[in-house]
């Protein structure tokens, strides 16, 4: 195996994608390479005069193989690239990475409770709405939505249509799990600032509100508190939006949806 081939295989090994997708991509590239070898065999075995045309056929095969490899790798790149990040904060804090095809391509627990919820939630490559439903069920099963629990979803997304679809899915799939659900848009700056503090955007915002209300709380403590506990630190905050029966929503922080 050549050095170039080794680099290609190493690159595929680092790609986070279903093993079936990676195997099919490599198989297609290998098939194209096999076609190149067949063409070389024809060149060596053919009589002298017909062989004058073989290099052209070989060049066409090589070009086709290169185009196929680029198309497959390009398609895999598009499928694996997130275009929206969906943060879910209760006490567990979870973030889903969603691609342009509405598929979950990444899921991580921002805190330990979030990681625990995801251990029993098979959300990778699910549609975003289905993933939200699965997480809502897991939060109910683990008792995180009992009593007056508050569930806040934040969406970091540059596409208005995708944001609208995720917001609708949030209320449709999480509204039945909790009576207090909100969904809002977040900026990349808010998302990065929240993650640097080790918490989801919802908790980060609530901590900011508490600080403005004169209730200081450390980032470490805030990361372990529930959304309800953090909101109770600043009950008069004007940014809580309007929430009712899982169908309320708030608009805050991000660019205008329209």
pLDDT in tens, 34-77: 554 454 454 445 454 545 546 767 677 776 766 766 666 666 77
Distances (CA, A) of 235 to 18, 210, 212, 231, 257: 45, 9, 12, 6, 27
The residue among 85 and 73 whose pLDDT is bigger is 85
Q: Tokens 């709380």 appear where?
A: 217
Higher-confidence position of 16 and 180: 180
With 0.75 as the threshold, say if the pTM is over it: no
Residue 80, number of CB atoms within 10 A of its CB: 16
Tell me, what's the pLDDT at 204?
96
Number of other residues whose CB lies within 10 A of the CB of residue 18: 11
Residue 93 pLDDT grade (very low, low, confident, very high; cuts 50, 70, 90): very high
pLDDT number for residue 80: 85
- Are 134 and 122 in contact by the 8 Å Cβ rule? The answer is yes
pLDDT for residue 176 = 72
Distance (Å, rounded) from C-alpha 49 to C-alpha 29?
A: 31
Model pLDDT for residues 1-42, shown as the tens digit of each residue: 555 455 445 544 544 555 655 565 555 555 555 554 454 454
* Mean pLDDT of all residues in 195-217: 92
pLDDT tops 50 at residue 110: yes
């Amino acid at each position: 195996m050549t050095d170039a081939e080794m680099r290609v295989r190493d690159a595929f090994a680092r790609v986070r994608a279903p093993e079936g997708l990676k195997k099919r991509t490599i198989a297609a590239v290998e098939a194209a390479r096999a076609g190149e070898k067949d063409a070389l065999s024809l060149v060596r075995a053919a009589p002298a005069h017909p062989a004058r045309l073989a290099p052209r056929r070989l060049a066409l095969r090589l070009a086709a193989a290169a185009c196929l490899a680029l198309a497959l790798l390009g398609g895999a790149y598009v499928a694996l690239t997130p275009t929206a990040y969906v943060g879910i904060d209760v006490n567990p804090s979870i973030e889903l990475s969603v691609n342009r095809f509405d598929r979950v391509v990444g899921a991580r627990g921002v805190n330990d409770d979030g990681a625990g919820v995801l251990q029993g939630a098979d959300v990778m490559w699910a549609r975003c709405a289905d993933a939200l439903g699965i997480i809502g069920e897991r939060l109910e099963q683990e008792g995180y939505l009992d009593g007056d629990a508050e569930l806040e979803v934040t969406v970091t997304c540059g596409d208005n249509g995708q944001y609208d679809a995720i917001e609708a899915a949030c209320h449709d799939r999480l509204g039945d799990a909790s009576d207090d659900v909100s969904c809002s848009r977040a900026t990349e700056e808010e998302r990065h600032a929240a993650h640097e503090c080790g918490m989801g955007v919802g908790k980060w915002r609530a901590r900011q509100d508490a600080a403005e209300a004169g209730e200081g709380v450390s980032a470490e403590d805030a990361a372990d508190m529930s959304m309800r506990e953090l909101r109770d630190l600043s009950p008069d905050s004007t940014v809580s939006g309007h929430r009712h029966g899982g169908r309320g929503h708030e608009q805050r922080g991000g660019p205008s949806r329209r």
